[in-house]
């Protein structure tokens, strides 16, 4: 293939808007440029957001596509709130570890397809001690709890971060592995309740819930049940799915999430999913806390 200059691409593009042209050559250009765009879009230059990170520990993060200078150019107030109350305030509160804050934040971003902050927070999560295998499982878990395309949007970002950090599949969980032991009694109860209520309404959904979720996904060992619950509860709050919080927050606390931690999850999520999501969850969380104290 001969030398194709940028002006050729411009010309090509112009001609593409008219009658169909030389498809073979165009496809070649397309394949190449599309691939580079896709790769480059997320594999961001090192200057991006570096000032935002400057008061954090050094890391090899793939930053977001915004620089702190960009934020400054649009809203000095937002830059101020980001550097102060958010990064130097919220993230340093002792009620929840940085690692758990990253789990909550990553879950919220994936649950709402907030792609623009994924590169920054996926990288920060790894820096904060979330293992690559755990990030991988969080994404898989959210395919079921937030939607398949949500997980795929996360894959599009994570693949570049994994590549940049030389994280190979040897560091990631296998497709299938020995499952954690099932709490048969609790699962029997759960299944019976769902089945009694909804078997006749949607047998396919009820069956998949048992087979794929509670007897498979939840038992995968690469993410501890407590963390899986943390991801689930965070996604529910971030998406305003208050009707599902009661069961999963109870399960989370059964799995080891303390009340203080659950309380701080709300503080964290308010920033990343917005205050209204946190406030809509408050009465439900209150109710769960009160019922467990009896």
Contact with a second copy (CB under 8 A): which of 21, 25, 34, 97?
A: 34
40 part of the interface to a second copy, by CB under 8 A: yes
Contact with a second copy (CB under 8 A): which of 60, 180, 205, 256?
A: 205
Contact with a second copy (CB under 8 A): which of 74, 179, 180, 182?
A: 74
For residues 109 and 232, give the distance between their C-alpha atoms in angstroms, rounded to a whole number: 12
Contact with a second copy (CB under 8 A): which of 172, 187, 190, 191?
A: 172
Buried (b) or exposed (e) across 34-71, using 16+ Cβ within 10 A? eeeeeeeebbbeeebbeebbeeeeeeebbbbbbbbeeb
Contact with a second copy (CB under 8 A): which of 56, 131, 147, 190?
A: 147
Q: Which lies closer to a second copy via its Cβ, residue 256 or residue 276?
A: 276
Residues near 94 by Cβ (< 8 Å), separated by ≥ 6? none
Contact with a second copy (CB under 8 A): which of 101, 106, 220, 227?
A: 220
Residue labelled with tokens 């400054």: 72
Residue 211 CB-density burial (10 A; 0-12 exposed, 13-18 middle, 19+ buried):
exposed
100 part of the interface to a second copy, by CB under 8 A: no
Looking at the chain, how many residues does it have?
294
CB 160 within 8 A of CB 179: no
235 part of the interface to a second copy, by CB under 8 A: yes
Q: Which lies closer to a second copy via its Cβ, residue 209 or residue 229?
A: 209
**DSSP H helical segments within the chain, as ranges?**
6-16, 23-42, 68-74, 76-81, 98-111, 118-127, 132-146, 148-164, 184-198, 203-208, 225-238, 245-254, 259-273, 275-293
- The 44-73 site mask, x for binding a second copy (CB under 8 A), equals xxxx----------------xxx---xxxx
- Contacting a second copy within 244-283 (CB under 8 A): 244, 263-264, 266-267, 270-280, 282-283
**DSSP H helical segments within 128-179, as ranges?**
132-146, 148-164
Contact with a second copy (CB under 8 A): which of 3, 18, 196, 294?
A: 3
Site stretch for a second copy (CB under 8 A), options 53-61, 181-189, 212-220, 250-258 = 212-220
134 part of the interface to a second copy, by CB under 8 A: no
């Amino acid at each position: 293939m001969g030398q194709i200059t940028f002006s050729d691409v411009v010309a090509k593009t112009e001609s593409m808007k008219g009658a169909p042209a030389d498809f073979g050559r165009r496809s070649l250009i397309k394949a190449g440029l599309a691939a580079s765009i896709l790769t480059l879009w997320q594999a961001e230059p090192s200057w991006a957001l570096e000032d935002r990170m400057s008061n954090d520990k050094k890391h090899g993060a793939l930053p977001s596509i915004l620089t702190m200078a960009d934020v400054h150019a649009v809203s000095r107030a937002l830059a101020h709130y980001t550097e102060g109350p958010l990064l130097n305030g919220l993230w340093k509160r002792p009620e929840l570890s940085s690692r758990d804050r990253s789990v909550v934040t990553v879950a919220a971003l994936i649950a709402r397809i907030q792609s623009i902050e994924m590169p920054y927070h996926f990288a920060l999560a790894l820096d904060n001690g979330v293992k690559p295998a755990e990030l991988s499982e969080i994404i898989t878990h959210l395919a079921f709890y937030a939607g398949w395309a949500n997980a795929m949007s996360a894959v599009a970002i994570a693949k570049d971060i994994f590549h940049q950090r030389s994280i190979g599949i040897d560091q990631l969980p296998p497709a299938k592995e020995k499952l954690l032991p099932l709490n048969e009694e609790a699962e029997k109860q759960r299944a019976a309740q769902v089945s009694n209520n909804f078997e006749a309404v949607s047998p396919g959904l009820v069956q998949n819930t048992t087979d794929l979720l509670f007897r498979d996904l939840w038992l995968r060992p690469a993410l501890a049940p407590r963390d899986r619950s943390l991801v689930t509860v965070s996604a529910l709050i971030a998406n305003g799915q208050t009707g599902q919080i009661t069961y999963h927050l109870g399960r989370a606390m059964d799995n080891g999430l303390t009340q203080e931690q659950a309380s701080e999850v709300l503080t964290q999520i308010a920033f990343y999913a917005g205050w209204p999501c946190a406030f809509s969850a408050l009465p439900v969380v209150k109710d769960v806390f009160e019922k467990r104290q009896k």
